[in-house]
Structure 1
Amino acid sequence: MPRNILILLSEYGYWGEELLGPLTAFDERGYQSVFATATGKRPKALPPSLDPGYIDPPLGRAVTTPEVAVAARRLDESDRLDTPTSLAEWIPDRPYFSEDGFIRKIEAYYRDIARLDEQIEDYDALTIVGGSGPIVDLANNGRVHELILAFLRAGKPILAECYGVACLAFARDWENRESVIWGKHVTGHCKEYDYKDGTGFIGVDFNMGPPPYPLEYILRDATGPDGRYHGNVGKETSVIVDYPFVTGRSTPDSFLSGQKLVEVLESGLRRYGW
């Protein structure tokens, strides 16, 4: 039986290579990939991620090779992303405490959420693709958090890249409010890679300037005293495996991130990069 991977993408723009890298590794193994977005809209690649001439401001160099640009554009324009699963239709929204009939509603909510454990049985892993888009519709999305918690309960691995790692930092059980990466070793978009200006999104005519939060600081806090954030600044790649998590720092780590998730699934890899 082929393995099945659930791949979560932002509707506000994903970075081309950060989908291409893992997906290439999955395709090479014959895995079946199922795509999902917050509301079922088709995801689109951020234009700079398809441009080999784009110079990344913090790094002062191009970050997309001509070969990757061609392959990422071909993928973005293919029909593979046309009909993603809608998290809004699949996973219930937690009711406000101020709603009428809250007790009955929260009881129903927990019944529905419990069904997630059965609904993800056919999936072997979850992948959260990076880019600036996840800042908008994935990082603080309660449905995404419930999906992450369900994969963790099932003991299934989760790969997150770049700003997608923020989803892990904010995924918490409502009882103890402790991040799922507390005590874990992770990487993610480091402070040195942050833009001073130009953070952009698909479908929004707005230059945010710098990112709304420094992800590195959030990850340092979320991992706690017994975990650690690894920026690996100066090293060409930064991928950390601390099972069940595989985390990638940014664009250059995309192919390696996918390869390491395959090793987790096929070879029992449990630790890498620290």
Structure 2
Amino acid sequence: MKHILMVLTSHSAMENTDSTTGLWLGEFTDPYYGFIDAGYRVTIASPLGGKPPIDPLSLLTENITASNRRFNDDKAAQSALDATLVLDTINATDFDAVFYPGGHGPLWDLADDEYNGRLILEFIKSRKPVGAVCHGPAALIKAAELAPGLLSGTRITAFTNTEETLTLRADNIPYHLETRLKKLGADFKSAVLPFTNHVETDGLFVTGQNPLSAGPAARALIALLKKGTIKD
């Protein structure tokens, strides 16, 4: 049985506002059930362990997905989310792939977490896929700083500068993720229209642009795993 690690943010504060952020719930539940329904085992971790903060906006009616509703009736999944493992206790050798959901939180903690950066490099060294969606690709930043050139020329997508502006949160974040990834050498790609599904697979990296891309990104990672040996 394949074993997937899902790494979530532990960060909730935003800049210049009393509003909070954290995990975007649908970006966890859509991939989580995608992996579970494919017969995979899932382990959940976060920098601080325990229950991660949930972005309140992801709980609004207009942002609720079918997987959110399924989660609301799934006591086992709720218990797993409430008791995430502490990230620095995780060993890449125990897993077949890693996936990073978004919410704005990863811009602060996962992007700057050296243990997380080294964990990603271990997955890459072992030829294991690394998936991320929306602001989840911020988790790649520290890995790319530790291994310059890691993202050079690699097709990556993430929440775009335009989408940040349209969500009215551009003044509440430390940097724009699209800009940061481009500076690290990524060949950044996005959908023609904001907030529409867009997924990129390049080598070991699978990235999705926004919440609508969470389920498709998980399916792309599953497809990569099913191919077996992954070549450069």
**TM-score for both structures, normalised by structure 2:** 0.84
Counterpart check, 1:230 vs 2:196: no
RMSD: 2.6
Counterpart check, 1:249 vs 2:209: yes
| 3-state SS in 2 of match to 1:171 | helix
Asked if structure 1 preserves the Cα contact closer than 8 Å seen for 2:117 and 2:141, the reply is: no
Instruction: Work out which of the residue numbers 37, 40, 50 in structure 1 matches 2:49.
Output: 40
Shift of 1:170: 3.0
Instruction: Work out which of the residue numbers 126, 139, 155 in structure 2 matches 1:167.
Output: 139
Q: Which amino acid in 1 is paired with 2:27?
A: E
Shift of 1:268: 5.2
Q: Please give the residue correspondences for 1:27-106 in structure 2 after superposition, counting only pairs within 5 Å.
A: 27-53=36-62, 64-65=63-64, 67-74=66-73, 78-88=78-88, 90=89
Determine the C-alpha separation between the residues in 2 that align with 1:51 and 1:173: 36
Of 213-222 and 165-174, more deviation after overlay is shown by 165-174
Q: Please give the residue correspondences for 1:105-184 in structure 2 after superposition, counting only pairs within 5 Å.
A: 119-172=91-144, 174=146, 177-184=147-154
Structure 1 unaligned regions, length at least 5: 54-63, 92-118, 200-207
| 3-state SS in 2 of match to 1:81 | helix
Determine the C-alpha separation between the residues in 2 that align with 1:149 and 1:267: 21
Deviation per residue, 1:14-69 (Å, 9 max, x gap): 1011111111110111111001110213213212112124xxxxxxxxxx246354
Q: Which amino acid in 2 is paired with 1:231?
A: S
Shift of 1:233: 3.1
2:10 matched to which residue of 1? Answer: 11
- Give the direction of change, closer, same or farther, for the CA distance of 1:73–1:49 in structure 2 (3 Å limit): farther
Deviation per residue, 1:244-271 (Å, 9 max, x gap): 0000111010110111111001135979
**TM-score for both structures, normalised by structure 1:** 0.72
| 3-state SS in 2 of match to 1:79 | helix
| 3-state SS in 1 of match to 2:111 | coil
Shift of 1:217: 1.0
Fraction of identical pairs, as percent: 27
Structure 2 unaligned regions, length at least 5: 12-21
Determine the C-alpha separation between the residues in 2 that align with 1:255 and 1:148: 21
Asked if structure 2 preserves the Cα contact closer than 8 Å seen for 1:189 and 1:250, the reply is: yes
Query: Between Structure 1 and Structure 2, which shows a larger proportion of helix residues?
Result: 2
1:58 matched to which residue of 2? Answer: none
- The count of residues paired between Structure 1 and Structure 2 equals 219
Determine the C-alpha separation between the residues in 1 that align with 2:46 and 2:98: 13
- Give the direction of change, closer, same or farther, for the CA distance of 1:135–1:72 in structure 2 (3 Å limit): farther
- Give the direction of change, closer, same or farther, for the CA distance of 1:120–1:253 in structure 2 (3 Å limit): same
Q: Which amino acid in 2 is paired with 1:20?
A: T
Counterpart check, 1:219 vs 2:181: yes
Q: Which amino acid in 2 is paired with 1:232?
A: A
Q: Which has the larger radius of gyration?
A: 1
Asked if structure 2 preserves the Cα contact closer than 8 Å seen for 1:170 and 1:179, the reply is: no
- Give the direction of change, closer, same or farther, for the CA distance of 1:74–1:220 in structure 2 (3 Å limit): farther
Q: Which amino acid in 2 is paired with 1:121?
A: T
Q: Which amino acid in 2 is paired with 1:191?
A: N
Determine the C-alpha separation between the residues in 1 that align with 2:74 and 2:26: 10
Determine the C-alpha separation between the residues in 1 that align with 2:141 and 2:35: 25
Shift of 1:5: 0.5
